[in-house]
């Protein structure tokens, strides 16, 4: 899968699967970058940005979902 296709699919999965769950708790997510080697960089915003469970949210709700739905995603990292 070409990097442009991976970026488009990541954006679609975030919009349809991840974002509604985060928004239900007062948070949101911003796609910052998808690197050529399959690393997705995102920023949690709203209530999620300071939540003590944000690391778990990143690992389970975001990384696991993206890795299952988008071939080529290697890992998800918080953006600086």
What does DSSP assign to residue 52? T
CATH number at residue 10: 3.30.300.130
40 sits in which H/E element: strand 39-46
Partners of residue 75 on adjacent β-strands: 39
Q: How many domains, in total, are found in the chain?
A: 1
Of how many residues is the chain composed?
A: 80
Q: Spell out the per-residue pLDDT of the chain, length 80, in tens.
A: 788 999 999 999 999 999 999 999 999 999 999 999 999 999 999 999 888 999 999 998 899 999 999 999 999 999 97
pTM over 0.75: yes
Residue numbers of the domain that contains 47: 3-78
CA–CA gap between residue 47 and residue 49 (Å, rounded)? 6
């Amino acid at each position: 899968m070409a990097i442009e296709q991976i970026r488009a699919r990541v954006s679609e999965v975030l919009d349809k699967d991840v974002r509604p769950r985060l928004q239900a708790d007062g948070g949101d997510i911003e796609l910052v970058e998808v690197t050529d080697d399959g690393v997705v960089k995102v920023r949690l915003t709203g209530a999620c940005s300071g939540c003590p469970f944000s690391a778990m949210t990143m690992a389970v709700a975001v990384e696991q979902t993206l890795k299952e739905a988008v071939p080529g995603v290697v890992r998800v990292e918080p953006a600086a």
